[in-house]
Structure 1
């Protein structure tokens, strides 16, 4: 059997370890496991969403409304755009895939940060495209512009706030870059934008403004983070109609489930729940900063619902992650990104207290 030769260049994406796997491999009771690896909202989703899904669970045998009318109408109202400027995906990952398939081939290149969301590279390599990376994990858009001039990429990925590092760029800095970059599709991934906007309004990238000013830009958002619907897999892209029309040619029918559409539409109605969760997130973030300072750990200033600890040379990220795993704490080891670092989701106060206790235990062992 012959496979696409581009697959030889690919590594399989490794998601954060699920609780079920830790139960099987380590024999730890599920109630004693704390998952701080996948940046889920630890407060769950709005009770109104849960109620809506429960009331409509009997409809799961029906195919969803493939026009996605209600969800697109709700998003259009939220962002001040038209429904024709929106495409819905099974997570924003699927919209990323549409972008790659629509634009890339073996003669193209893609520009991205040195350390950023792994799926940008994976989707590009699937199309045979070349990867161009900046020299720093931060989005140095001056360097991006130099690389743009040199390589003429077909897609530029800007993840703000950036995953897995947590840093974010100012809106005006992004716009100054976009003024000079007119040709490629610029993908602005705002998966964690709700958090960034709360912490610093200068980081907010309004989709309506973005696409009105820059017709080659597409904004990506998701319900997996602040809205607490990671298990429902709903994301969206917002761009001018010409872009959306092309992406729609790649969208499979019924790509979002009936209950997922209902959940996402209902979630948009309870902004109070989302804002409370974000407020709690940054209140708890302060505890992680304090813990880092107490233990002489460097960290990246985060505009998300996670924090990245940069570890000293005497502490190996993979070893530390495994030591925590044996204690029932799941975090994300960033060794595969070339960083000796851990990414830790900000949990509930109770979860965080246990993390600090277990992490201190491991640190004390290193000192012996």
Structure 2
């Protein structure tokens, strides 16, 4: 007789639905036998790898038989110099999702409350549910965070509040004044997890905050960033948090040893020095957002304004059939019904020719 292992799992995991990533190109090739596929589903950098990062990886390959530096000294040093923080304030992760999970495991026990917004990045509630947290999801306002309502949801059991700026998958953003007002309204022991995965794309926008500059004023703030987006290292899984040193010390107690591999660490140091690459990525994204927004509006659609490297758009009908029809045209976008938006898709910015291909395919299937 076989055992019922589901009953042996912790309660938070039994009813958990796993994260659904964007469909890989190789999977669509296997399923439909297509080639020349355009993937605009996972908010990846379309430029390819930085030449400096590639050279650093090739050099690091010589030592791939050795374990990596468990403390990531040189990457922490480079980040500390760039961000004007102490190395002791930095926690490295296997992607920023890894650090997000560390925060939940470090501070949340079963029955503790966490607060997040409707339509927020789904990795946070997944980690919180697995830990047995009581998740309070505050309804969105104009597809973004309703900060007064989130503040009102905080109670004596609240451990973490999660903000995403710009928000994924909707692209909406918080202004510095409203962020500071929100932080000032919270009890000092409530930790605010502030996810800036798309910071490099957004940081030139008037009133958009640089939360790392707020750390000295708000020691309960933890800022997450990543190398997966503008820095073009998604496959290497490299992210980090900046916080006060006490929080970083606690996170590093639960951080898995060698969670960042040698190739990622070397590439991260190198790409931080490649300002030309970053500037080009930001400019390509700026032009691509305009191209996609203009093309979608010509199709009679109204995308949500975005500061990320993607647009979220209401197709005015169930999105899943449109998504599947686009797959047959060799175009991968992201349906986001699992975010409570069944009529919306999220379209990542690609190169100009990728964006054109997507718009043409969308016009075809909508017709």
What interval of TM-score do these two structures reach, taking the shorter chain for normalisation? over 0.9
Report the TM-score when normalising by structure 1: 0.95
- Corresponding residue for 2:167? 162
CA distance in 1 between counterparts of 2:12 and 2:71 reads: 33
Deviation at 1:152, TM superposition (A): 4.5
- After superposition, give the CA deviation of every residue in 1:35-87 in whole Å (9 maximum; x if it has no partner): 10000000022111112212332221111111211000000011100000000
Q: Give the counterpart of 1:141 among 143, 147, 165.
A: 147
CA distance in 2 between counterparts of 1:202 and 1:71 reads: 29
C-alpha contact 1:157 1:186 (8 A) present in aligned 2: yes
- Corresponding residue for 2:328? 326
Q: Give the counterpart of 2:182 among 158, 177, 186.
A: 177
Please give the root-mean-square deviation of Cα atoms over the aligned residues, in Å: 1.1
| Superposition map of 1:201-280 within 5 A | 201-207=206-212, 209-280=213-284
1:357 aligns to 2:363 (yes or no)? no
CA distance in 1 between counterparts of 2:339 and 2:51 reads: 36
C-alpha contact 2:40 2:350 (8 A) present in aligned 1: yes
1:128 aligns to 2:132 (yes or no)? yes
CA distance in 1 between counterparts of 2:152 and 2:56 reads: 50
Deviation >2 Å, runs of 4+: none
| Residue segments in structure 2 that go unaligned for 5+ positions in a row | none
C-alpha contact 2:60 2:262 (8 A) present in aligned 1: no
- Corresponding residue for 1:298? 302
Look up the SS of the partner of 1:14 in the other structure.
coil
- After superposition, give the CA deviation of every residue in 1:176-204 in whole Å (9 maximum; x if it has no partner): 11011122110000000111113x14213
CA distance in 2 between counterparts of 1:171 and 1:205 reads: 8
| Residue segments in structure 1 that go unaligned for 5+ positions in a row | none
Q: Give the counterpart of 1:196 among 186, 202, 209.
A: 202
Structure 1 stretch 327-336 or stretch 44-53: which is displaced more? 44-53
Report the TM-score when normalising by structure 2: 0.95
CA distance in 1 between counterparts of 2:240 and 2:114 reads: 21
